[in-house]
A = this chain, B = another copy of it.
């Protein structure tokens, strides 16, 4: 069971593309890291796949999905809304992240909506198969606990930041987070591809979009960052930003 199948064999995605021949869609997913290649192939064979366009809703708040969704390319946001339509983004997920496990394992309705931030590919693993998988591989449970732990510490940071930290600090923290996920080192700094618009950033941080503009402007004046087009930010002084974010 070699990891790279012969080119003549269609990959488990049902497509015959270079991408899929290079990697199984279950490959590189942290919660499956302990599985052998043949197991990965078996799972991959049971997954459904679908692509989404930017702005498409993948999961609606309050629904009862009967699958775990694993993000296999692109990025999505998970957000909740208030009665008056204001949005609070809770997570930005990218390749390798999953969602829906709570709803599936414990029959709880989804408390957030998931929406594509850019074109993206998702694998869906249905309830029965996922439960089987968990039963057969107890340490996937551990890996899920681990991932939930990270997610919790992300939320714990958000709560602390929103509660007691200054705006600049919160913006700094979000920039650092996005830099970690979407940043590329260059000789003049780290160029970050921003999956979120200014409004998205605002809804992630929990402030007004105008304030995001103002504060980013200030950071730019101080030479810490530089806007590159509308969807990129160059971090010129990572040290200072880390200082700011605490």
Contacts and interface: CB of A to CB of B under 8 A. Distances in A.
Could you say which of A101, A106, A152 has the most chain B C-beta atoms within 10 Å of its C-beta?
A152
Name the prevailing secondary structure of the A interface residues. Answer: helix
Residue among A108, A162, A164 having the largest count of chain B Cβ atoms under 10 Å: A164
A151 B149 contact: no
B162 A159 contact: yes
A184 interface: no
A102 B152 CA distance: 10
Nearest to A106: B146
Interface residues of A, number: 40
A107 to B, nearest CB: 10
A152 B149 contact: no
Closest 7 CB pairs of A and B: A163-B206, A141-B141, A155-B155, A162-B162, A88-B160, A88-B163, A86-B164
